[in-house]
Chain A
Amino acid sequence: DTAVSQTPKYLVTQMGNDKSIKCEQNLGHDTMYWYKQDSKKFLKIMFSYNNKELIINETVPNRFSPKSPDKAHLNLHINSLELGDSAVYFCASRGPGQNQETQYFGPGTRLLVL
């Protein structure tokens, strides 16, 4: 009964490849996020969707494209992977209901670009 799940957990790939990371939440939340955590542990928001609508789009290369087929899913597709894309990518979700301000995180996807 995992609340926020991500697949895959680990992703090792070559530079130039295209890859996708999937995220699903079963909390009934209506807002979902993608974060990137770099090697220095700094967490930065990339995108946010509310009810399948993009509401936050930080300065992220357009090689990164989020897609939200429904409220429970937010996927991240990355084209032409670069060495600097190596990081841990976290999905998170929030509200409504009790604790609606709190974001709950998935386990993370560790991406290594060779």
Chain B
Amino acid sequence: AQKITQTQPGMFVQEKEAVTLDCTYDTSDPSYGLFWYKQPSSGEMIFLIYQGSYDQQNATEGRYSLNFQKARKSANLVISASQLGDSAMYFCAMRGFYSSASKIIFGSGTRLSIRP
């Protein structure tokens, strides 16, 4: 069975500070992908970053980086120099690659609020 756990329901961070959003996962698939999505108050789901389980390096996309620790089964999202526009819900997700029909599962989300 696959599981994604986000233990921080909400976080407050001062503008311009870095923030780490926690995500742990569990899967029996030998290869899998990990994702982070952002959902602002307007409601759309915005893809941020992807990490493959066999990628040698941690993924980075602009101010977003994924701190992937395979042995610990964690895939934390790091946002550097936070901005007011970063205030949103953030979802961690995973898909196992054992089957083409395998589904992506989402964590319960973390609501991030950036203070000016």
Partner-B contacts on A (CB < 8 A): 33, 40-45, 48, 50, 55-56, 58, 88, 90, 92, 99, 101-105, 107-108, 110
> Which of A44, A48, A102 touches B101 (beta carbons < 8 Å)?
A48
Find residues 64-116 in chain B having any chain A CB closer than 8 Å to their own CB.
89, 91, 95, 97, 100-101, 103-106, 108-109
Given A41-B109, A101-B50, A101-B95, A107 and B44 touching (CB < 8 A)? yes
Does B12 make an interface contact (CB < 8 A)?
no
Q: Shortest beta-carbon distance, B8 to chain A, in Å?
A: 14
By a CB distance below 8 angstroms, the chain B residues around A44 are 106
For the complex, give the distance between the alpha carbons of A90 and B106 in Å: 13
- Decide if A102 touches B103 in the complex (CB within 8 Å): no
Q: Are B104 and A45 in contact (CB under 8 A)?
A: yes
Q: In the complex, A44→B107 CA distance in Å?
A: 10
Q: Which are the 7 A-B pairs with shortest beta-carbon distances?
A: A105-B45, A55-B101, A43-B106, A101-B33, A45-B103, A107-B44, A41-B109
**Across the two chains, which residue of chain A brings its CB closest to B33?**
A101
Total interface residues on B, using CB and 8 Å? 23
B100 & A102 in contact (Cβ 8 Å cutoff) = no
Kindly state the separation between the CA atoms of A33 and B103 in the bound complex, as whole angstroms: 9
11 A-B residue pairs with CB within 8 Å? A41-B39, A42-B106, A42-B109, A43-B91, A43-B106, A45-B104, A50-B101, A101-B95, A105-B46, A107-B43, A107-B44
Taking a contact as CB atoms under 8 Å apart, the answer to whether A90 and B108 are in contact is no
A33 to B101, CA, bound (A): 11
Q: How far is the CB of B63 from chain A (nearest CB, A)?
A: 18
Bound state CA distance, A113 and B72, in angstroms? Answer: 43
A19 and B85 alpha carbons, distance in the complex (Å): 35
Whole-angstrom distance between the alpha carbons of A13 and B42 in the complex?
22
Q: Residues of B contacting A42 with CB < 8 Å?
A: 106, 108-109
Q: B46, B52, B101, B106: which contacts A56 (Cβ < 8 A)? A: B101
Q: Are B43 and A108 in contact (CB under 8 A)?
A: yes
* CA gap between A66 and B89 in the complex, in Å: 28
Q: Per-residue 0/1 for B51-63: is the Cβ within 8 Å of any A Cβ (1 yes, 0 no)?
A: 0100000000000
